[in-house]
Amino acid sequence: MNKKAILVMTAAMFSLTSCSIIRGYRADGKSGPDIYSFEHHVHDTIDNGTLPFCFPFAKQQASWIDTLHFFNQGKHYKNTTLHEALTGKTDTQGVLVIQNDSIIYEKYWGDFSADRMATVFSVSKSITSLLCGIAVDEGCIKNVDDVVTDYLPELKKRDPMWQRLTIRHLLDMQSGLDFDDTYSLRLKHFKRLNAMAKLNYGHNLMRQIRGLKFRCEPGKEYRYESMTSEILGVIIERATGRRYADYLSEKVWKPLQMESPAIINIDSRKHDVAHAFGGISCTMLDLAKIGRLYLNRGVWNGKCIVSEEWIRQSTDYATDNDGYHFNWYNLSSIDADKPQYPGFYAHGIRGQVLYVNPYKNLIMVRIGKQDNTYAFIPYLFEQLSNNSNF
């Protein structure tokens, strides 16, 4: 490649990256956002109520958890303790285990604490799904098989595929959109990296949505990517006529008696579009209350928050769609046999996990800065929940 060609390519790369990628680099550095990045990002507040619910501590703490040994999934098995699997390079900040509505195991590392907020990244997708279920129950969204253009009519003038895309497709990651959750710095990936940077750091998400293309027909295949959940969040706002933060506060944060306010990142004060795909920051204890709601099939202290049918469609064990339904996972997609007592979970980058096992009445939460261990944390929690001590 001659010098002139290199200069042209460099200029093209700079053009692609001059806005969103550089903005992201300046905000969060080369490693990207971490669990505390919300402190310098524009956001909305999710207000809580005045009568918080607090999980009590069990009289008998499960100290035996520290002595248990676990095995990683797949071909390479390694005998390890939970502490070994979750500390070291993973930089775990907190682990919480709740059984029968009582805290039986709680540990924090570094300067993290029970009342400190952390970004839960794509666990936000599962919370967005909860909001969607509530909007369906209330009739704001008529049906999950409604097409997206019923709620975002401006997209009718775009690609004809928009009129085939349904809310169900968004919930199950079958949108067919030409979008990738890529963080690769390789030259051939720069265009897609820039699109991902726009999603995280852009100031006008609706403009980005209007410019999207499709790689295949909606419903044809499962492919995880964050833009689908962002579109779902916009639909919820349009259908309810409420800001995402206000609707989440009214329908979830206050009814579930959260102990602390939470926040959600937005694209800008001018446009105020919430990062429904990964922008929620909250405490571990309040995140566990989402788990308690799902554990109790949508009911909170005798009051129905979301229909039992919505919970069933989100969490029942199934092997299709790579174990992913309505923005919740089960472990059928990994190389492991179905456990006797299977759970379900929400998962975010850097290993943010909310795990629920209805058979054992268990809720487990992990918050961390990194997730570069050989151990897959939801699988460790699944092994733990199937232990005979529970």
How large is the angle between the packed helices 3-17 and 190-201, nearest 10 degrees? 20
Do 253 and 49 touch, CB atoms closer than 8 A? yes
For residues 303 and 367, state if they share a domain: yes
From 180, 205, 240, give the residue that closes a domain. Answer: 240
Longest dimension (CA), the chain: 73
Do 262 and 100 touch, CB atoms closer than 8 A? no
Residue 1 forms part of a structural domain: no
Residue 193 forms part of a structural domain: yes
For residues 213 and 336, state if they share a domain: no
Residue 22 forms part of a structural domain: no
For residues 234 and 255, state if they share a domain: no
For residues 355 and 269, state if they share a domain: yes
Radius of gyration for the alpha carbons in the chain, expressed in angstroms and rounded: 21
CATH of the domain at 308: 3.40.710.10
For residues 66 and 106, state if they share a domain: yes
Please state whether 270 falls in left (phi above 0), alpha (psi between -120 and 50) or beta. Answer: alpha
For residues 220 and 258, state if they share a domain: no
Residue 18 forms part of a structural domain: no
Residue 8 forms part of a structural domain: no
For residues 224 and 135, state if they share a domain: no
Please name which of 300, 358, 370, 305 lies closest in space to residue 328, comparing C-alpha atoms.
Answer: 358
d(CA 259, CA 12): 49
For residues 129 and 253, state if they share a domain: yes
To which residue do tokens 């964050």 refer? Answer: 226
What was the pLDDT predicted at 100?
97
Residue 376 forms part of a structural domain: yes
Residue-range definition of the domain harbouring residue 173: 143-240
Residue 255 forms part of a structural domain: yes
From 240, 275, 301, give the residue that closes a domain. Answer: 240
Number of CB atoms found within 10 A of residue 132's CB: 28
CATH of the domain at 215: 1.20.58.710
Residue 3 forms part of a structural domain: no
pLDDT along the chain (390 residues), means of 10: 41 49 68 88 96 97 87 57 72 95 95 94 98 98 98 95 98 97 66 85 96 97 97 98 98 98 98 98 98 98 98 95 96 78 95 96 95 76 90
For residues 232 and 91, state if they share a domain: no
Is the model's pTM score more than 0.75? Answer: yes
What was the pLDDT predicted at 65?
92
Number of domains present in the structure of the chain: 2
To which residue do tokens 């709740």 refer? Answer: 98
For residues 65 and 206, state if they share a domain: no
For residues 234 and 248, state if they share a domain: no
* Beta-sheet strands, E only, within the chain: 43-46, 69-71, 79-81, 92-99, 102-108, 118-119, 262-265, 280-282, 299-300, 303-304, 324-325, 328-329, 344-348, 352-357, 362-368
Tokens encoding 217: 């027909």
For residues 201 and 289, state if they share a domain: no
From 187, 221, 240, give the residue that closes a domain. Answer: 240
